[in-house]
Structure 1
Amino acid sequence: MDFNFTDEQKMLRDSARGFCEKMSPMGYVLEMEKSEKGYTPELWNAMVELGWMGLIIPEEYGGVGMGFMDLIVLLEEMGRMCVPGPFFSTVILGGYTLLTGGSEEQKNEYLPRIAAGELVFSFAYTEPGMIKFDPSHVTVTAKAEGESFVIDGTKLFVSDANVADFIIVSARTSGEANDKKGISLFLVDAKDPGISITQLSTLAGDKQCEVVFKGVTVPKANLIGALDDGWSVMEKVMLYASVGKCAEMVGGSMRVLDLVLDYCHQRVQFGKPIGVFQAVQHHCANMAINLQGSKFITYKAAWMLDEGMPATRICASAKAWVSEAYKRFVILGHQVFAGTGFMVEHEMPMYSRRARAAELAFGDAPYYRKVVAQDLKLG
């Protein structure tokens, strides 16, 4: 188990860092928060040219054929500069769902188009009835009618549904609302006239949507995985998504620490740079400690997933730890910057807002503590 980056990963990191700093400065990110779409074709096409959309897609489906650890390197750099757009929804939520549960026909039809940047995907799995995160709570129904299924119901907080070409939908085909058995996954055309999409106002300015399905007909060929067994696919994809989100949080932490250290050298009080004062030093030291812990638990989880090892406990531990560490991180950053760090023109609010959103994405720390407890056979 070696967490040092390979030469190829170092090249990917350096290339991604230069690209993200050039293409996603603070002004651009804030502008995209206000825009309806949330990204520009120039950014998307530039990422396509670099091969990022096909990074984890096997070569036989038109991709680059690299591993999840390589994607983690990229996601760190994207998180470091808060790169906007539907990359995460398309490559991880769309790509890994198809790779995990898709038929050979589905893989051949959609994966090459994802790699080419021709399609944007979204994944609809959370619902209005959830009082806490529980992706097995599914009340949206899919009823068989001849050679099709008819989907009805509402999904909430669907990332990038406003720009998606296809939405992967978890729907109940049997059982009760919280049964894991009886959930099925469907690939749905986002432009179907029976679908209405409403953008939600969010703290982080990301593009979360309410998606309402009214009599949406989906052919049986669009079923992903086995009927009533969509949970086995969702569970695996959520591991990739949670660790991928950890990588983004690690990248954001790296950027905040850089900003804080620069400020500690530049800001002078009582005739001295504030970095010489013990209280400020302790804040910075605690930030560095949080970052180191977040890095290594994220890398270990990603490595275990890459190696095909049982990884539920380490992935859950990573998401629980990194979510709370990033929250502590930005609080310490604000304390060092004081009033300056609360100005809209400053970068700190951009990262603190995203820390809160990332904490909740794919499950918060209490949810993953429950997952760890279950893995320990405690309930």
Structure 2
Amino acid sequence: MTAQTEADRTPDLLYSEAEGDLRAAVRALLADRADAPKVIAEVESDTPYDLRLWESLAAGIGAAGLLVPEKLGGQGATHREAAVVLEELGRAVAPAPYLTSSVVATEILLALADGGGPAAGLLGELAAGGKVAVLALPFATPPADAPAAMAGTVDRQVTGVAEAAAADVLLVPTADGLYAVETGGSGVTVQPLVPLDLTRPLSTVTLTGATGTRLAEAGPASAAVSRGLLAGAGLLASEQLGLAEWCLTETVRYTRERHQFNRPVGSFQSLKHRMAQLWLEVVSARAAARNAADALATGSPDAPLAVAVAQAYCSGVAVQAAEECVQLHGGIGMTWEHPAHLYLKRAKADSIAYGTAGRHRAAVAGLVELPAP
């Protein structure tokens, strides 16, 4: 496909039959292994990750290898399919290191695996679900900050690394290149933090005298890290979409069943208007998230713009949907037993992941050559 025809291509925002089948499989797995009571119980424990769930998702369904070509041991799918998985993970707020390992770390390794070597070997292990890899940067790092991350040595302390507690390997960017460091090796400390979102734990990673395998020199590594963060930001929008859809669906269901003055509270005009407006926001978020996933899947030159638009919009919609869910559930929405608080915390945490909405709006302004807001 030439650059001209790619530029003229109309994005495909519809879900294919294969994507529908994948959604059904992931949703059934999460309903069995990650329903609300189980997720709440897990986040209260010292081990929020269900290893059986991850094994079934990553290896059983094959979701961990969706972005990896078949010749490298993956499924040979695209970002569109990975986006469907993230929609369902967002809908269940499931504690699973899919975004950080199967998207961000996998994208980084894909950019470095053409010539074989250690990057290709590690990529195969991630695709098979045998290992989890996490980029050793703060979860809030936007794609534009990838070049600045290529500094210092392997010895460092990084705060706010998402899902490092579940990682077998850390991808550490340095001035000398990108290194793969085993979390179980000497000189590596992963100290859990107390995050707002208990379903996606954060940690402080300290590397002192740790040794690792160099995967690439600084130039290619910087481009690879940028590619990984861009894919992470773009597909995070699909997680935010799934979260918002659950909040809207659950709120509509509850307001139909909850009665006041012998009427369902959902029949009150003011609440109808609020939920109708939220529905419009969610539909628009779906279009933005699907556009970003399609642009990444096709390698569109407009992918950075599509990703920035999706993040600038979807993060706010997710927060709004979660806030409405808590408020319109009344007193029950404020209890620990109801999962609404998990969705609000995930939405708030996601709103700064891979760059705030403000950073992405500034990116949009730069890409279309308009004054920044």
Is the TM-score greater than 0.5?
A: yes
**1:217 match:** 211
Deviations 1:3-24 (A, max 9, x none): 2211111111112111111110
**Partner residue of 1:39 out of 43, 49, 62:** 49
Aligned length: 355
User: Structure 1 runs of 4+ off > 6 angstroms?
Assistant: none
Matches within 5 A, 1:99-118: 99-102=110-113, 103-118=115-130
| Contact 1:95–1:114 (Cα < 8 Å) also in 2 | yes
| CA RMSD, Structure 1 to Structure 2 (Å) | 2.0
In structure 2, what is the Cα distance between the partners aligned to 1:185 and 1:369? 29
Q: Which residue of 2 aligns with 1:317?
A: 309
Match of 1:170 in 2: 173
Q: Secondary structure at the match of 1:211?
A: strand
Using the size of structure 1 for normalisation, the TM-score is 0.88
Deviations 1:51-90 (A, max 9, x none): 1122221111111111110111111111101111222222
Contact kept? 1:125, 1:155, Cα under 8 Å? yes
- Of the structure 1 ranges 311-320 and 368-377, higher mean CA displacement relative to structure 2 is found in 368-377
CA displacement 1:227-285 (0-9 Å, x = unmatched): 24433222221121012211111111111111111111101111111111111101111
Normalised to the residue count of structure 2, the TM-score between the two structures is: 0.90
Query: 2:162 matched to which residue of 1?
Result: 159
The AA in structure 2 aligned to 1:112 is G
Higher relative contact order structure (alpha carbons within 8 Å, sequence separation ≥ 6): 2
Aligned to 1:195: 188
Question: Which amino acid counterpart does residue 172 of structure 1 have in structure 2?
Answer: A
Q: Tell me the secondary structure at the aligned position of residue 85 of structure 1.
A: coil
Decide which structure has greater strand share. 1
Quick one: structure 1 residues 68 and 200, their matched pair in 2 at CA, closer, same or farther if it must change by over 3 Å?
same
Output aligned runs, 1:266-281, within 5 Å.
266-281=257-272
- Stretches of structure 2 lacking an aligned partner (at least 5 in a row): 1-10
1:85-110 CA-to-partner distances (Å, cap 9, x unmatched) read 22222211221110023342134312
What is the percentage of aligned positions where both structures have the same residue? Answer: 25
Superposed displacement of residue 305, structure 1: 1.1
The match for 2:227 is: 236
1:258 aligns with 2:249: yes
Preserved CA contact (<8 Å) 1:126 1:135: no
Where do 1:1-379 residues align within 5 Å? 1-47=11-57, 48-102=59-113, 103-126=115-138, 134-138=145-149, 141-142=152-153, 151-173=154-176, 184-205=177-198, 206-219=200-213, 222-224=214-216, 226-310=217-301, 311-377=303-369
Is the contact made by 1:198 and 1:211 (CA closer than 8 Å) also made in structure 2? Answer: yes
Shift of 1:136: 4.6
Offset at 1:134? 4.5
1:140 CA drift (Å): 5.5
Answer 1 or 2: which has greater helix percent: 2
Indicate conservation of the 8 Å contact 2:118/2:215, yes or no. no
AA aligned to 1:335 is Q
The alpha-carbon distance between structure 1 residues 156 and 127, as it changes in their structure 2 partners (threshold 3 A), is farther
Measure, in 1, the Cα distance between the counterparts of 2:139 and 2:31: 36
Structure 1 CA distance for aligned equivalents of residues 106 and 46 of structure 2: 24
C-alpha separation between the residues in 2 aligned to 1:41 and 1:210?
Answer: 22
Separation (CA, whole Å) in 1 of partners of 2:65 and 2:220: 27
Moved more, 116-125 or 104-113: 104-113
Cα distance in structure 2, aligned partners of 1:56 and 1:229: 20
Q: Is the 8 A contact 1:37 1:163 kept in 2?
A: no
Contact 1:127/1:138 (8 A) holds in 2? no
User: Is contact 1:341-1:349 (8 Å) kept?
Assistant: yes
Instruction: Pick which of 60-69 and 41-50 moved more.
Output: 41-50
Q: How many angstroms does 1:153 deviate by?
A: 1.5
Once the two structures are TM-superposed, the CA of residue 368 in structure 1 deviates from its matched residue by 0.9
**For structure 1, which segment, 57-66 or 36-45, has the greater mean C-alpha deviation from structure 2 after superposition?**
36-45
Instruction: After TM superposition, give the deviation of residue 44 of structure 1 in Å.
Output: 1.7
In the alignment, residue 370 of structure 1 is paired with which amino acid?
Answer: A
Take 2:312 and 2:275, find their aligned partners in 1: how far apart are those partners?
A: 22
Change (3 A) 1:199 1:135: farther
CA deviation after TM superposition for structure 1 residue 137, in Å? 4.3
- Please tell me whether the aligned partners of residues 138 and 158 of structure 2 are also in contact (alpha carbons under 8 angstroms): yes
Change (3 A) 1:136 1:111: closer
CA distance in 1, matches of 2:162, 2:350: 12
The 8 Å contact of residues 105 and 228 in structure 2, kept in 1 or not, is answered as no
Q: Does the residue aligned with 1:94 lie in a helix, a strand or coil?
A: helix
Deviation at 1:123, TM superposition (A): 0.7
